Structure 1
Amino acid sequence: MSFLLRVLVNALAIWVAAWILPGMGIAADPSVVSAVGGETAASVLAYLFTGLLFGVVNAVVRPVLTILSLPITCLTLGLFAVVVNAAMLWLTSWLSSFTPLRLEIDSFLWTAVLATLIIGAVSLVMGWIVPDRGRG
């Protein structure tokens, strides 16, 4: 249940970032739109799929990249962690380009970094609203 909740929070956070930032969005192939019965259903499915993919990338790749970038993260007093998170979002976008449900980001420097900050803020707020039952 906790895993599904994290996927939903990721999907919501990516939706908020795509809503705020003009250079970020979700695209679905027409075959997916016709298969699920409409544009809205395809959009919801695309955000859920992207939230799942983002969670998997964060679980698998992010720990390795965090350890490798530890020296520069210490030098920048933690600010390089934003770049690592933006790289995870960029990697999610690249991986989703091979699927019918795609996350599209137009630039790394502005869109991915700002989206990372928005996704982090939404995830923080959702963590306050829906606390993880496994902790405590």
Structure 2
Amino acid sequence: MGFWTRIIVNTLLFIAIAGFFSQSGGFYVASIWMAFAASVVLAILNALVKPILFLFSLPITVLTLGLFSIVLNAIMLQLTSYFVGSENFHFASFGMSMLVAVIVSACNAIISSHFVSRR
């Protein structure tokens, strides 16, 4: 999947997940433009910060058989919330950001496999 395709997919996922959790207030996105901005910020953070965090957390990632990567993805989402602005894009708790990280990762894996199988 290309860069802009992944940005659009993440934007749509953020809007859909925020709509799903709108009653509980666990995850909030102010508008589609804030979801787009969060997708761009997340892509930049994943390119620049995540490799460094992954390197530092490699021992615990190996010990947990890769499950610690969910925590790293949640940290990336929390950083995204910080940079976009918590009034526009925020999570009620770290557990909610972990749940959103799992949902986004699973959806991206399914969509990416669909794009690969179509080539």
Q: What TM-score does the superposition give when structure 1 sets the normalisation length? A: 0.76
Residue matched to 2:89:
103
Runs of 4+ off more than 6 Å: none
Cα distance in structure 1, aligned partners of 2:56 and 2:117: 28
Question: Helix, strand or coil for the counterpart of 2:74?
Answer: helix
How many residues are treated as equivalent by the alignment?
A: 116
CA–CA distance in 1 between the matches of 2:3 and 2:117? 10
- What are the ranges of 5 or more consecutive residues in structure 1 without an aligned counterpart? 28-42
Q: CA 1:6/1:70 → structure 2, altered by over 3 Å: closer, same or farther?
A: same
> What TM-score do the two structures reach when normalised by structure 2?
0.85
Superposition deviation, residue 78 in structure 1: 0.9
SS state at 2:28 partner? strand
Deviation track 1:21-75 (CA, whole Å, cap 9, x = no partner) reads: 3310112xxxxxxxxxxxxxxx222211111111111111101000100001111
Q: Among 96, 101, 106, which residue is 1:116 paired with? A: 101
**Which has the higher relative contact order, 1 or 2, with Cα contacts under 8 A spaced 6 or more apart?**
1
Structure 2: state its 5+ residue gaps: none
RMSD over aligned CA atoms reads 2.3
Larger Rg belongs to: 1
Quick check: 1:2 aligned with 2:6? Answer: no
Contact preservation (8 Å) 2:15, 2:32: no
Letter in 1 for 2:41: L
